[in-house]
């Protein structure tokens, strides 16, 4: 299992109903591409986050397939419209089968 993996998200605490908010997410992960070799010439096995999703109250906001060329600590910044108060749920899927998730609530101001 990849070590030092920690998801981070930044979601505003409040938003006006129907407005778009900016969400920032980052997961610390080494994103080993599977194309590098170690000192002995052996291929270092691929170990990346291959999928990232964001859901709002169960509805899919963003579903991203990620490939080996993506750098260490993948960062996504995107906008989402907030129709009502609720929870954003962010999920990252690791090659090794681990699933990391975190949630943030947002209120209507």
Stretch that binds another protein, among 21-29, 37-45, 48-56, 90-98 (CB under 8 A): 21-29
Of 6, 35, 36, 107, the one binding another protein by CB under 8 A: 6
Q: Does 4 bind another protein (CB under 8 A)?
A: yes
Of 5, 7, 28, 100, the one binding another protein by CB under 8 A: 28
DSSP states of 6-31: EEEEE--SEE-TTEEEEEEEEEE---
Q: Does 2 bind another protein (CB under 8 A)?
A: no
Helix (H/G/I), strand (E/B), else coil: 2: coil
Helix (H/G/I), strand (E/B), else coil: 5: coil
DSSP states of 38-101: -TTSPBPPPB-EEEEEEEETTEEEEEEE--TTSPSS-EEEEEEEE-SSEEEEEEEEETTS-EEE
Helix (H/G/I), strand (E/B), else coil: 103: strand
- Shortest distance, CB of residue 88 to another protein, whole angstroms? 15
- Shortest distance, CB of residue 105 to another protein, whole angstroms? 18
Stretch that binds another protein, among 3-11, 12-20, 36-44, 45-53 (CB under 8 A): 3-11
Q: Which spans of this chain sit near another protein (rule: CB under 8 A)? A: 4, 6, 8, 10, 24, 26, 28, 72-73
């Amino acid at each position: 299992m990849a070590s030092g993996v920690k998801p981070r998200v930044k979601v505003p605490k409040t938003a006006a109903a129907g407005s778009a908010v900016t969400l920032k997410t980052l997961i610390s992960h080494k994103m080993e591409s599977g194309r590098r070799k170690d000192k002995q010439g052996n291929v270092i096995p691929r170990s990346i986050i291959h999928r990232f999703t964001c859901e709002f109250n169960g509805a899919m906001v963003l579903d991203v397939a990620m490939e080996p060329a993506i750098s260490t600590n993948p960062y996504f910044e995107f906008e989402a419209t907030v129709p009502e108060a609720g929870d954003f749920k962010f999920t990252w899927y690791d090659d090794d089968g681990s699933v990391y998730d975190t949630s943030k609530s947002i209120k209507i101001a």
